[in-house]
Amino acid sequence: ETGVTQTPRHLVMGMTNKKSLKCEQHLGHNAMYWYKQSAKKPLELMFVYNFKEQTENNSVPSRFSPECPNSSHLFLHLHTLQPEDSALYLCASSERQSSYNSPLHFGNGTRLTVT
């Protein structure tokens, strides 16, 4: 059983839709992350929240909007996406961002398809 839960597991949306991805962690961690995983490419870090504060936004287009209401929950709001945004979106958590020896704990991901 995973300590990081992501919903939905699959999502198909049109380019004009608005949807949200949800992530919840039950590990007492203080840092949460959104990664994008595309085929045959390294995982791309999108956003980092440390103690509910956004600490990184790696040049992600504004059609992706993160929200972190508390240390246990993380959302990724999606609107006006493009087909190239289709990918597996992974949420992860760690004790805190600066704990370099603390591994990331991942959820099962949301497989997003933009039509």
Partner 1 sequence: AQTVTQSQPEMSVQEAETVTLSCTYDTSESDYYLFWYKQPPSRQMILVIRQEAYKQQNATENRFSVNFQKAAKSFSLKISDSQLGDAAMYFCAYRSAEDNNNDMRFGAGTRLTVKP
Residues found near partner 1 in the complex (CB under 8 A) = 2, 33, 40-43, 45, 48, 56, 88, 90, 92, 97-98, 100-101, 103-109, 111
Which lies closer to partner 1 via its Cβ, residue 29 or residue 105?
Answer: 105
Residues in the chain: 115
Least gap, CB of 13 to partner 1 (angstroms): 19
Query: Residue 61, SS3?
Result: coil
- Closer of 80 and 102 to partner 1 (Cβ): 102
Question: Encoding tokens for residue 108?
Answer: 């099962």
Minimum gap (Å) between residue 16 Cβ and partner 1: 27
Can you say whether residue 7 is alpha, beta or left, with left for phi > 0 and alpha for psi between -120 and 50 degrees? Answer: beta
Please report how close the Cβ of residue 103 comes to partner 1 at its closest, in angstroms: 5
Query: What 8-state DSSP symbol labels residue 83?
Result: G
Q: Which is nearer to partner 1, 15 or 27 (CB)?
A: 27
Nearer to partner 1, 9 or 77 (CB): 9
Which pair of tokens denotes residue 76? 């990724």
Rg (CA), the chain: 13
Give the residue carrying structure tokens 């919840």: 24
